[in-house]
Chains A and B, each alone.
Chain A
Amino acid sequence: MSNTPAVQAVTEFQDIFRHIQSEVAKAVIGHEDMIQDILIAFFAGGHVLIEGVPGTGKTLIVRSLAEVLNLSFNRIQFTVDLMPADITGTRMVMDRDEGRREFVFVEGPVFAHILLADEVNRSTPKTQAALLEAMAELQVTVAGTTYRLAPPFFVLATLNPIEMEGTYPLPEAQLDRFFFKVRLTYPTHRELQRIVSTTTTTALPDLQPVFERAEAPEKIMALRQLVREVLVAPHIEEYITALIHATIPASAPYVSSQDPARVALPKDDHVNRYVGFGSSPRGGQALMLGAKVVALLDGRANVSYDDVDRVVVPALNHRLVLNFAAEAENIDPTSIIRRVVQSARKLRR
């Protein structure tokens, strides 16, 4: 490869991405794929919902990431009594030097580059909804005034699948705003052994930031821009579209019967039986952007089928709304997505 600016950009992206991975891996043992998914979503400009049992390193991953990226970081522990103003900020009466009192907007924890919403499902829907605008629009409206969030804005929310009493499951609209949903599994035997050995000594992991604090946001935004410049062939777009349509059951409401393209990919039997609502167009966007990041990581300027397949599970598994039959039969959305991908392979030729 010659030393053209394009080549340099791709190479720089790969280097930064791998550097971040390696630095986070100093603090987080195992979970390489999950960390990579989180980074993919980060460079794609999305937010990540992390689901895992307590003690598997969810918070550690986010904190480590913020430290390595050298970005501002806030953490919100969601509880039942958490109010929206506790997230977005509020107007408070402040005394001025002249003795005047005026309302001053005090920024909430949402005003940070990286926000950790820990156990987000424990707050009320009203509080959860306060996060929606910030995640989708990168802005906060308080008392009729809109405040822009400084990019990059990256929300990492965690879910605790156990202890569901007193929790408020995230509504579908809010779920859809998360770019990826990553499930943290238990560490393997060897990973657990390393965790036990390395985290119980006096030596703490020394994480080196990848960027300087001043230039970090710009560099990250430049990398995000590079991701969006990855070239995509029309047949890849067709493939992504077919995948999204394949997750929508034939009996789903709000489906246009006038679209002949929807029948290009036959519906999987599991989709029709267990899926209540399929993926939204945001799912397609997530697939495309995530695939672009994967392509850059692979040193390519174009998206391939494999790139799409790589991100299809984290991009779609929280966007499928399963019906009662699926819950009764304990059907996992991931298995349905894999079946859809398998049936879509014929579109590759």
Chain B
Amino acid sequence: MVGIPGTEERLALAEVEDRLRRIRARFNLYTLQHNFYSLGTALTLGTALLIVGAFTLSPLLFTLAAWPLLALLAFLLLLFLRRGVAGWLDLNAAARRIDAQTGLKERLSTLVAQLTAGAIGKPSPSRLWPYLVEDNTIRLPSWEIKKVAPRRIPWSCLPFLAALLFALLVASVPLLSPSSESAPFSLANLETVLSEFPERAGQLLDQQLSLLPDTPDHWGGSSMFNDSDAGGGQASGQNNQAQGEGREQEARSLASLPEELQKAIRQALHGLQDQDRDQPENQGTSPPPRDRLALRPSNEQKTADFAIEGKNLPKGTDRQAAAHGQPGEGKDGSPSGSGGDTQSLAQGSGIQHLDRARLERKNARGAFQPDSPQIPGSGSEAGAGGPGAGSGTDPRLFGNQANLGSGTNTFQLALDAAPERGRGSEVEDKDEGGIIEKSGKNLSQRQSLDDAIRKAQIPPEYEEIVKRLFSRGESQ
């Protein structure tokens, strides 16, 4: 009987109560979701309207429209809160709802009313109480959870999602509208900027490099005599083609000078040594200029006086540098271009011609006047981007781009070549002579400083500054 623990009736009541509590929790969750989604739909649509109004209405109209809309949204907020509270079911209400849905004719709600009134543990309120319990137990399968509350998610989530999507579309319309094209970050502007970026970057780089001293004009002289080099710089030298063609005849006269004479002129001017002459693979190529700034792989100790070493520079760059400026002796023997001819004018005319060329280059700043050494590519590309050969900076200036991209991107300014040579062979220094201060164990203070600077690992972001400082020191 009722109130006696362990009886079949009590177990049946426990089963009924347990299921009722689960269904009630599901009802309440559903109601909560439904009110949340309904309220969210209203708020989202209201927000979308506010956005539309903000972009379409005048400030006065927007203010006049926004306040009633906000008041309406606040009213809806309170309304749905009230509905949420009113829709929250207790056990009796959940039982009534189940009765209504399953046609139990208030059997369950009557039973739950008796339970909540404290029927358990008290004398039976009626002779018919066991009958009611048994009646409800028999009808338990008719109000399974899946039958009574089959849906976990209310239908109102669909309007909510639609409203959310609508609001997102409304919010994105200003970005896509034609009136926003003047915006700096519109898609069209970004595409334009991206398309012009390489050209502008090249111009900016040229401008920065043109600030460097003009002295390395003549180290590129060897490339000026290199016909194959001219072929590689054909494209980039088109801007200077007119200027170069005017001096073509003079350049040819320089090139026609004996090699010994050309060498003597270079040594007299800059003390440039043809360091690669002794290398077998570079035989037959013109001696490379004594680059003030030359990019070499940092793991190679070369004899260049000044070199910016790209650590990721692939091997063989020095050989390419050796081929750089070889007149008409590129490995593939590619025909010379007009760019190379133009440059040969300045190199081949002696000091006066070089000074004049330097002056002309200064006057022609704004166009490409590379003051930094260019690293030619392979033999087939030898001379490409030679000094002053064209308007574009040699993209290989910093070595292999792919390797640069994947490497540590640090650079080293090296003055190691001359001191090593000085330590190894004093005669060689004597033979080569030149304007470079003699390297040795007793380096001057300035040389030691320079040496330290150039051997230092320079991060890429400081590369330009170091170059400039280094060049300024050199020019001084």
> Which residues of A does B touch, CB under 8 Å?
1-2, 4-7, 9-10, 226, 229-236, 298, 300-306, 348-349
Contact of B134 among A2, A236, A304 (CB under 8 A): A2
CB interface residues, B 89-121, toward A, < 8 Å: 92, 96-97, 100, 105-107, 109-111, 113-114
A302 touching B110 in the complex, CB below 8 Å, given contacts A1-B134, A6-B130: yes
Let me know if A300 and B129 touch, CB within 8 A: no
Contact of A301 among B97, B100, B129 (CB under 8 A): B129
Q: Cβ of B106: which chain A residues have Cβ within 8 Å of it?
A: 233, 235-236, 302-305
Q: Cβ of A301: which chain B residues have Cβ within 8 Å of it?
A: 110, 126, 128-129, 131-132, 135
Q: Cβ of B113: which chain A residues have Cβ within 8 Å of it?
A: 233-235
A/B interface sample: 24 pairs, CB < 8 A: A4-B130, A5-B127, A6-B128, A7-B130, A9-B127, A9-B131, A10-B128, A226-B127, A229-B127, A230-B128, A231-B126, A231-B132, A232-B110, A233-B110, A235-B96, A300-B105, A300-B135, A302-B110, A302-B111, A303-B106, A303-B110, A304-B105, A304-B106, A306-B105
B60 interface contact, C-beta 8 A: no
> Which residues of B does A touch, CB under 8 Å?
92, 96-97, 100, 105-107, 109-111, 113-114, 125-132, 134-135, 138
Q: Cβ of B97: which chain A residues have Cβ within 8 Å of it?
A: 349
A9 touching B130 in the complex, CB below 8 Å, given contacts A233-B110, A301-B135, A305-B106: no
Q: Cβ of A303: which chain B residues have Cβ within 8 Å of it?
A: 106, 110
A6 touching B129 in the complex, CB below 8 Å, given contacts A1-B134, A300-B135, A348-B100: yes
A217 to B128, CA, bound (A): 22
Q: Cβ of A226: which chain B residues have Cβ within 8 Å of it?
A: 127-128
A2 to B138, CA, bound (A): 10
Closest approach, in angstroms, between the C-beta of A243 and any C-beta of chain B?
16
Q: Cβ of B128: which chain A residues have Cβ within 8 Å of it?
A: 6, 9-10, 226, 229-231, 301
Let me know if B105 and A231 touch, CB within 8 A: no
Closest B residue to A228 using CB positions: B126
Let me know if A349 and B100 touch, CB within 8 A: yes
Q: Cβ of A230: which chain B residues have Cβ within 8 Å of it?
A: 126, 128
Let me know if B126 and A229 touch, CB within 8 A: yes
Give the top 6 A-B pairs by smallest Cβ distance, nearest first.
Answer: A301-B128, A302-B110, A6-B131, A304-B105, A233-B110, A301-B132
Q: Cβ of A9: which chain B residues have Cβ within 8 Å of it?
A: 127-128, 131
Most buried by B among A1, A232, A301, A349: A301
Most buried by A among B107, B111, B126, B129: B126
Given contacts A231-B128, A306-B105, 7 further A-B contacts (CB under 8 A): A2-B134, A4-B130, A5-B127, A6-B131, A9-B128, A229-B128, A233-B106
Q: Cβ of B109: which chain A residues have Cβ within 8 Å of it?
A: 233, 235
Let me know if B129 and A231 touch, CB within 8 A: yes
Q: Cβ of A10: which chain B residues have Cβ within 8 Å of it?
A: 128, 131
A247 to B117, CA, bound (A): 30
Q: Cβ of B130: which chain A residues have Cβ within 8 Å of it?
A: 4, 6-7
Closest approach, in angstroms, between the C-beta of B119 and any C-beta of chain A?
10
Let me know if B134 and A4 touch, CB within 8 A: yes
Q: Cβ of A304: which chain B residues have Cβ within 8 Å of it?
A: 105-106
Closest B residue to A348 using CB positions: B100
A5 to B124, CA, bound (A): 13
Let me know if A302 and B127 touch, CB within 8 A: no
Q: Cβ of B114: which chain A residues have Cβ within 8 Å of it?
A: 231
Q: Cβ of A2: which chain B residues have Cβ within 8 Å of it?
A: 134
A235 to B117, CA, bound (A): 13
Q: Cβ of B126: which chain A residues have Cβ within 8 Å of it?
A: 229-231, 301
Closest B residue to A292 using CB positions: B128
Let me know if A7 and B125 touch, CB within 8 A: no
A226 to B126, CA, bound (A): 9
Most buried by B among A6, A7, A235, A302: A302
A300 to B92, CA, bound (A): 19
Most buried by B among A231, A236, A348: A231
A7 touching B96 in the complex, CB below 8 Å, given contacts A231-B110, A233-B110: no
Most buried by A among B96, B106, B109, B125: B106
Contact of B132 among A235, A236, A302 (CB under 8 A): A302
A1 touching B127 in the complex, CB below 8 Å, given contacts A236-B106, A300-B105, A302-B106: no
Let me know if A300 and B127 touch, CB within 8 A: no
Closest B residue to A236 using CB positions: B106
A306 to B106, CA, bound (A): 10
Closest A residue to B131 using CB positions: A6
Closest approach, in angstroms, between the C-beta of A256 and any C-beta of chain B?
27
Closest A residue to B104 using CB positions: A304
A305 to B105, CA, bound (A): 7
A236 to B107, CA, bound (A): 11
Let me know if B127 and A6 touch, CB within 8 A: yes
Closest A residue to B111 using CB positions: A302
Q: Cβ of B135: which chain A residues have Cβ within 8 Å of it?
A: 1, 300-301
A269 to B96, CA, bound (A): 29
Closest approach, in angstroms, between the C-beta of B149 and any C-beta of chain A?
16
A349 to B109, CA, bound (A): 12
Q: Cβ of A4: which chain B residues have Cβ within 8 Å of it?
A: 130-131, 134
Q: Cβ of B132: which chain A residues have Cβ within 8 Å of it?
A: 231, 301-302
A118 to B132, CA, bound (A): 41
A231 touching B96 in the complex, CB below 8 Å, given contacts A7-B134, A300-B105: no
A282 to B474, CA, bound (A): 121
Most buried by A among B92, B107, B125: B107
